[in-house]
Amino acid sequence: MSLSAHQSARMKNDEWLTPPEILRPLGRFDLDPCAPIEPPWATAATQFSILDDGLSKPWGGRVWLNPPFGREAVVWLRRLAAHGNGIALIPARTETAMFFEAVWGVADAVCFIKGRPHFHYVDGRRAPFNSGAPIALIAYGIDNEQILRESGLGHVVSAK
Ligand SMILES: C[S@@+](CC[C@H](N)C(=O)[O-])C[C@H]1O[C@@H](n2cnc3c(N)ncnc32)[C@H](O)[C@@H]1O
C-alpha cells in the first residue's frame, strides 16, 4: 500500500474534523448540518449531529459542509447544491460521478487546497498524518466564491 493509500485508509471514518486554519479564513457560517455530538469547537452558529440527523432538518443561511465520507457524501452535497448557499469540503476527486453531478456546472467555484491538510480527531487533537489525498473546497453562491478567492487557501477555478 502506498503511503498515500495507507493514510487514506486510516482516515476512513466519519469523525475527522476540519482544521481550524481552513475554517478561519472562510468566515462565519449559520449552519453545520453534520457536526460531532460533542464538538471541540464551533463550526457554525447552529450545528446538527447524527442525533438530530442533519439531512432530515430544514437548512437555513450560509452552510458549512464537511460531509460523512463514502457513498452517502453525494446525498449531502446534492442537498447543499439545492440549498445554494455554502461551502463544502470534499476530496478533490474531480473525475467522479459526485463531482459531475453536484460540482461541475452546478457549483460556482472550486478551491484546490494547497498541500494536504491534517484533520483533527473528535477530541480536537491534530492528526500526526495528513489527509493522504488532495482536498477541495466547493462554493455554492457567488459570495462564497468570492470568499474562496480571498481566502488564500489554494487555487480557485470557476465550476460553471
Ligand atoms: C467529516 S466529519 C465533519 C465534522 C464537522 N462538520 C467539521 O467540519 O469539522 C462528519 C460529521 O458528520 C456527522 N454525521 C454523520 N451522520 C450524520 C447525520 N445523519 N446528521 C448529522 N451529522 C452526521 C459525524 O458524526 C461527523 O461528526
Question: Which has the minimum average pLDDT: 23-32, 48-57, 64-73?
Answer: 64-73
For residue 8, the model assigns a pLDDT of 56
The residue to mutate among 11, 34, 122, having the most atoms of ligand 1 within 8 angstroms of its beta carbon, is 34
- Ligand 1 centroid vs 104 CA: distance in angstroms? 24
Of 48, 49, 97, 52, give the one whose Cα is nearest residue 74.
97
pLDDT higher than 50, residue 153: yes
How much is the mean pLDDT over the chain?
93
Ligand 1: residues with CB < 6 A are 14-18, 32, 34-36, 43, 48-50, 53-55, 66, 68
Q: List the chain domain ranges.
A: 3-158
Q: What is the DSSP letter of 40?
A: S
pLDDT tens-digit profile of 53-93? 999 999 999 999 999 987 799 999 999 999 999 999 999 99
pLDDT of residue 69: 81
Q: What is the pLDDT of residue 1?
A: 32
Query: Looking at residue 70, what is its pLDDT?
Result: 77
Q: Which triple of cell numbers denotes residue 52?
A: 438530530
Q: 9 pLDDT exceeds 90?
A: no
Predicted local confidence at residue 14, as pLDDT: 78
Question: In this predicted model, what pLDDT tens digit does every residue of 92-135 receive, in sequence order?
Answer: 999 999 999 999 999 999 999 999 999 999 999 999 999 999 99
Assigned C-alpha cell, 65: 459542509
Q: How far apart are CA 130 and CA 36, in angstroms?
A: 20
> Ligand 1 centre from 67 Cα, in Å?
6
Between 15 and 50, the more confident residue is: 50
Task: Tell which atom from ligand 1 comes closest to the C-alpha of 23.
Answer: 8
Dig out the grid coordinates for 34 from the structure: 453534520
Does residue 11 carry a pLDDT above 70?
A: no
First to last CA, the chain: 36
For ligand 1, mutation pick of 14, 37, 122 (most atoms within 8 Å of CB):
14
- Closest atom, ligand 1, to C-alpha of 53: 20
- State the pLDDT at residue 55: 97
pLDDT over threshold 70, residue 10: no
